[in-house]
Structure 1
């Protein structure tokens, strides 16, 4: 390989951006192709944070954590098909990933919260807006700065859809063919990194949802319209196709906003899990809690399905003044978009929603007692933050519904981000990172691990590809 290898990155979300910057750090040239007119992908919408174990921020907050504890939580969430090598790569590199973001890109990750399925608080965000946007925009800005000052090192092509990977006679990947509004072109490279995201918005009649999860085809999605499984198709259309892992595993996120202006919209805006981490509660149509709000996403979604099936919807998410203040930037945005509504009191909300006030009063009073340790929550909630609720006090309320969110299945890779064929043999010159890969999360992805997966495996892919 040449002294300055050319790395072709397909996909401009956080995984692709992390791969690009890391490849640059290791002396490579980078060509980044993205089919959309703007970079960012689904990463820009991630609003809860990024996980890290044994980080500096955790230490400052007096939080005791370890890689092993994070590994255990991830393994438990993944279930019986967990792949230890991939979970180890994710968790062992988490603190380093956050240090890289905070030092190289000056991203604020000083706040730490606890999301469902985590045994300790380890989901990091800053004091400003959505952490996904903060991270992704910072990496985009810096990449653009390098491109403008060192064009020979970075070229970014937006509106460029990759239609096939290029192979030499031995099956090594040597580039890709892409098309834009001007025509078709070939881009040669020493290695290719696929970072195209998942397929949670693939509603075509013969697409991945139809093929692998027709039972979920009618669900709304929180993914952007770019998430149609492009990378999966590219990797499985080779002379020796890449293997796919857990391809039928899709995460249904419990809290997608039902927009009062378009309640039947196929694409929903996600209500950050950080809301529940800050103390939000979920109630059914009678004003009663029905689940531990900090359970794993698959568990909460399952309980919501039971409520809906029993005819006890709509399901609403409620925040008191303290929990909404903890996520003021988020809530101000949701209020401005009309996805949340503020009520001067819980009583005012109950009257408008035609809920039995006494039910809501009991729900609020019981939750307050559980948070104060005066009683044990029969739903199993043991971690409480901002738990004091009263029907006399203001509340923020949103109607929510489960949404397709994240595809846990995808391209098979090893812990060095090398794409593997059906025999477990690496495909020369091909790497993958982010949601497009499979095997890390299996049954359920922990909140805060999507951004982490993007950064960790993006960095691994960038380093491995540039170092060979």
Structure 2
């Protein structure tokens, strides 16, 4: 049994969760991140974190079960569903949220129902920035621990060049900083994120999904598949799975000041969860706004191909009020515009006011039970749209958002070789792993995957350090 520190590669939510889990068990940690600051994509997540059977749900009289969450996740995953990984994700969801709220004091008291979920189970804080609230809390606590004792060291601007190995076991890493190369020995947890910003020639997207190269991404420039390459370069390489499964999010903001920007802000799914509508260039709805991401994306892409774009997202006064902090931020960035009424929007966009009136009236009627929504919308939240009240509007487009494929792991977050056997000394967590979401990830399950598998990786590594 080695006495070396556990090495965590990647300082997003998965890596941070693993680090805290190791520290809670009295172990030593070295956390490496190639960027000058921690957080990764986790800090940008804006819809929330899923949990079934949580205290917040109980207080809001929301009846939910692990079985229901597992069923929704399995349906979303489709033919690539892996029951053991789905069970690991869903059965640990309530404990994960309890850990965040009780041990770290994070507010996750707001619960909403988003696309693909049968009940409300996506938790967020009242400020409306759950990714930042969760990840920054873990960053601050880890930084404080690093300042107080030698049990944890954080090294930024540190690029891991290769994994060290001996007789089929991973025994450490070689990393590079401005001061040169360093070798560190210990078990390794890979938490480097996905490859949704890897647009390079010969990169993972170009190799597995070249059709997506023309799209923009919501990811930071760190998400280039570093961890995938590290584990693939071992003499006993880790298996990679589902690399062609890349989630295209339906709602990326089109910035009027930079329409062709390769990196776009995400229009949070919560905007649709609170009652936002999606309309085409004529002001007509064409989809169930709270359907799964893959379904909404497919319909939007069809509308755009048919020449019915641009596609816009519209929120009424009540919807915008419920998610005010998001809307205020988007307006400040010039990504969303507030109109005093539908007539003002009609004059600005060229959409006939009669069309907007019909769309708003019909949606309101469907919500009240007067007729059946032709797109099968099952829930209507903040559903009463009036042409006389203020509305928030933004142009949106599909964007590369999340990579479901990655390193094959078991339910304990141990990295697996091509024969399905755990590779001693190697663990993985967060978006870098594959197989958890199958063909489609549900909204709210990225933060959950990071916390759950980060903690599982940390717990698994505890037994060997």
Question: Into which bin does the TM-score normalised by the smaller protein fall?
Answer: over 0.9
Query: 1:186 maps to what in 2?
Result: 183
Task: Provide the rounded CA distance (Å) in 1 between the counterparts of 2:111 and 2:369.
Answer: 23
- State yes or no: 1:167 paired with 2:169: no
Distance 2:258 2:232 in 1: 37
- How much has 1:327 moved relative to structure 2? 0.4
Map of 1:343-362 to 2, 5 A cutoff? 343-362=339-358
Alignment of 1:106-255 (within 5 A): 106-150=105-149, 152-168=150-166, 170-189=167-186, 191-255=187-251
Give the RMSD, CA atoms, in angstroms: 0.7
CA distance in 1, matches of 2:309, 2:32: 43
> Secondary structure at the residue paired with 2:319?
helix
- Give the superposition deviation at 1:5: 4.9
Mapped contact 1:45–1:133 kept (Cα < 8 A): yes
- The answer to whether structure 1 residue 52 and structure 2 residue 48 are counterparts is no
CA distance in structure 2 between the aligned counterparts of 1:289 and 1:449, rounded to whole angstroms: 27
Matched, 1:435 2:434: no
Does the 8 A contact of 1:5 with 1:466 survive in 2?
A: no
Distance (Å, rounded) in 1 between the aligned partners of 2:316 and 2:144: 43
2:13 matched to 1:8?
Answer: no
Contact 2:146 2:153 in 1 (8 A): yes
**SS in structure 2 of the partner of residue 456 of structure 1:** helix
Q: Distance in 2 between matches of 1:92 and 1:439?
A: 16
Q: Distance in 2 between matches of 1:326 and 1:358?
A: 27
Unpaired stretches in structure 2, ≥5 consecutive residues: none
Shift of residue 231, structure 1, vs aligned partner: 0.3
Indicate conservation of the 8 Å contact 1:410/1:435, yes or no. Answer: yes
Q: What's the counterpart of residue 389 of structure 1?
A: 385
Unaligned runs of 5+ in 1: none
1:62 pairs with 2:57: no
Aligned-pair distance for 1:272? 0.4
Give TM-score scaled by structure 1 length.
0.98
* Per-residue deviation, residues 355-376 of structure 1 (Å, max 9, x unmatched): 0111111000011111112221
SS in 2 for 1:347: helix
Are positions 1:29 and 2:28 aligned together? yes
Aligned equivalents of 1:421, 1:238: Cα separation in 2:
10
The TM-score normalised by the length of structure 2 is: 0.99
Aligned to 1:12, the other structure's residue is in SS state coil
**How far apart, CA to CA, are the structure 1 residues paired with 2:178 and 2:369?**
62
CA distance in 2, matches of 1:5, 1:161: 20
In structure 2, how many angstroms separate the alpha carbons of the residues matched to 1:311 and 1:424? 47
Q: Is the 8 A contact 2:4 2:185 kept in 1?
A: no
Question: Whole-Å Cα distance in 1 between the matches of residues 341 and 426 of structure 2?
Answer: 57
**1:129 Cα deviation (Å)?**
3.6
Q: Decide which of 250, 253, 259 is 1:257's aligned counterpart.
A: 253
Q: Distance in 2 between matches of 1:144 and 1:375?
A: 56
- Whether 1:298 and 2:294 are equivalent positions in the alignment is yes
How many equivalent residue pairs?
464
* 1:394, distance to aligned residue in structure 2 (A): 0.6
Give the superposition deviation at 1:26.
1.3
In 2: Cα distance, 1:165 partner to 1:263 partner: 41
Q: Does 1:97 align with 2:110?
A: no
1:313 maps to 2:309 = yes
Matches of 2:389 and 2:317 in 1, distance apart? 8
1:100-137 per-residue CA deviation (whole Å, 9 max, x = no partner) reads 00011100000000000000000000111410000000
- Asked if the contact 1:5/1:28 (under 8 Å) is kept, the reply is no
1:325 aligns with 2:339: no
Partner SS for 2:415: strand
Deviation readout 1:429-462 (Å, 9 max, x if unpaired): 0000000000011110000000000000000000
Given that residues 198 and 406 in structure 1 are in contact (C-alpha distance below 8 angstroms), is that contact kept between their aligned partners in structure 2? yes
CA distance in 2, matches of 1:121, 1:89: 20
